[in-house]
Structure 1
Amino acid sequence: MRLDDVDWRAGEVVVHGKGRREDRLPLPADVGEAIAAYLRQGRPATTERAVFVTATAPVHGLTRGAVSLIVRRACVRAGITPVGAHRLRHTMACAMVRAQVPLAEVGQVFRHRSPVSTAGYARVDLERLRTLARPWPGCAGGGPR
C-alpha cells in the first residue's frame, strides 16, 4: 500500500490485486486512526512512498516476503508453529465459513473473481458448496445429490 492509495477525505483505500486489479474500499475510522498514528509516531523518516516500511536501514517498503518473515517470527515468539502470512488469510476465510457467512460474501471480502477460489475454503462443507454450484445442463434441480 502506498501513501497515495489512502484517500483520507473520502475514507477510502485503493487495494491493488492480481492482474492490475484495483478496488476502492472503505477505510474504517479505527483503521485510519491506527495508520495515521503509525505514520506520525512509528514510521521511520523516509521519502519512501510505501505506507509500511522496514524499521532498519536501508528503509524501504515491505515486501510480501518481509511480511511473511514478520509473521513467522511472531509465531516463534508466541511459541507456536511458524506459518507464513498467507495462512492468516486462509484462517480468516475458514473462520468466516464456519460462522456461516455466505460464500458469496466471503468471496467479496477476499476479492475473489471466481466462486471456485472461494470454494476451496468450504471444500469439506458440501452443503455450502452447493450454494455455489450452477445447475447441470438438462437436469432439473441442479444436478445429482
Structure 2
Amino acid sequence: MALRRRVQTAAARRGAPDRPCDRKAGQRSRVVQDRRNARKTAANSDQVQRLLASCDTSTRSGCRDFAVLTMLVRLGLRAGEVAKLQLEHIDWRAGEIVIAHSKGNRTERLPLPADVGEAIAAYLRHGRPASTQGRTVFVRITAPHHALTTGAVTQIVRHAGERCGFEPIHAHRLRHTAATLMLRGGASLPEIGQLLRHRNAITTSIYAKVDRDALRSIARPWPGDVA
C-alpha cells in the first residue's frame, strides 16, 4: 500500500515545478508504466526457439549469431555487455563468465549454463576467424575482424526477428524475456535480480512482471513510511 501511495503522489505532481523531490516521485511513477510496457516486450518461449532456429549454424556468421542470441536470452545480458566480452572473461574450468558492465566499470561473475557454454565453444571453434588479432570474443566475420559494437549486437537480434517475421525487436527485449522465462520456471525475485545484477527489487519487478503480492514481500519501506 505504501508503494501505491507513493506512485499516486508522483502522478499528481506531474504538473508541479520540477523540484528534486518531484523528480524522484516521477521516477517511481515511471516504474509502474515501465512494468506495464514490459508485458508487451517479453518474447515467449516459442518465439525464443524460432529466433535461435533462424541462425544457420553451418555458417560462421550463424554460429556467432546463435551464440550471441543464446547469451542474451539465457543470461539476460545487455547488448553492450556481450560486445565487451573478452576471451579471458570465460572461466571454463569454474563454469563462470565475467561480465563487464555496460553501465560503469564494475565486473561481476555469473554461472555459465551448459547450453551457453556449448554455443560459445562452437562459435570459437567454427565461427570466429582464426586470423582475429584482438581478444574480443565476438567479431566481424569479414576482414578486418573488428570487435562487434553494441549496435552490431542489436542488429543481430533485429535481423533474427526479421527472419522470423516478427515486429521490430531490440536486444533489450531479450533481457526482459530472460527474466520472464526465469519467473515462469519458478525462480525467485532475488535470483532473477542477481542474474540481471539489479540493485533494486522494484527494477527486477519491471523485467519479470511480478504481481503486487510478490513485490510487497521483498520491497523495503520508503523513507518516512509508518510501520
Q: Which residue of 1 aligns with 2:25?
A: none
Taking only the aligned residue pairs, the percentage that are identical comes to: 58
1:81 corresponds, among 167, 170, 177, to 167
Flag the 1:129–1:26 CA change in 2: closer, same or farther, 3 A.
closer
The one-character-per-residue Cα deviations of 1:61-107 (angstroms, maximum 9, x if unpaired) are 11111111111111111111121111011122123334453211110
Shift of 1:119: 2.4
Q: Are 1:129 and 2:208 an aligned pair?
A: no
Q: Is 1:36 aligned to residue 121 of structure 2?
A: yes
Q: State the Cα deviation string for residues 44-75 of structure 1 (Å, max 9, x = none).
A: 12112111111122211111111111111111
Matched, 1:95 2:186: no
Q: Pairwise mapping of residues 48-59 of structure 1 onto structure 2 (< 5 A)?
A: 48-59=134-145
Tell me which amino acid in the other structure corresponds to 2:158.
R
**Structure 1 spans left out of the alignment, 5+ residues:** 140-145
Compare relative contact order (CA 8 Å, sep 6+) and give the higher one, 1 or 2.
2
Give the TM-score normalised by structure 2.
Answer: 0.55
1:31 to partner: Cα distance: 3.0
2:191 partner amino acid = E
Kept in 1, the 8 Å contact 2:132–2:145? The answer is yes
Shift of residue 125, structure 1, vs aligned partner: 1.5
TM-score under structure 1 normalisation? 0.82
Structure 2 alignment gaps of length 5 or more: 1-84
Give the Cα–Cα distance (whole angstroms) in 1 for the partners of residues 115 and 165 of structure 2: 29
Distance across 2 between alignment mates of 1:13 and 1:31: 10
Structure (1/2) with the larger helix percentage: 2
Q: How many residue pairs end up in the alignment?
A: 139
In structure 2, the residue matched to 1:7 is 91
Residue 226 of structure 2 aligns with which residue? 138
Distance in 2 separating the partners of 1:76 and 1:50: 27
Q: 1:4 to 1:100 in 2, by over 3 A?
A: closer
Match of 1:69 in 2: 155
Structure 2 match to 1:104: 190
Would you say the 8 A contact 1:122–1:128 is kept in 2? no
Q: Does 28-37 or 100-109 show the bigger shift? A: 28-37
Q: Tell me the secondary structure at the aligned position of residue 226 of structure 2.
A: coil
Larger mean CA deviation between 5-14 and 109-118 belongs to 5-14
Which residue does the alignment assign to 1:142?
none
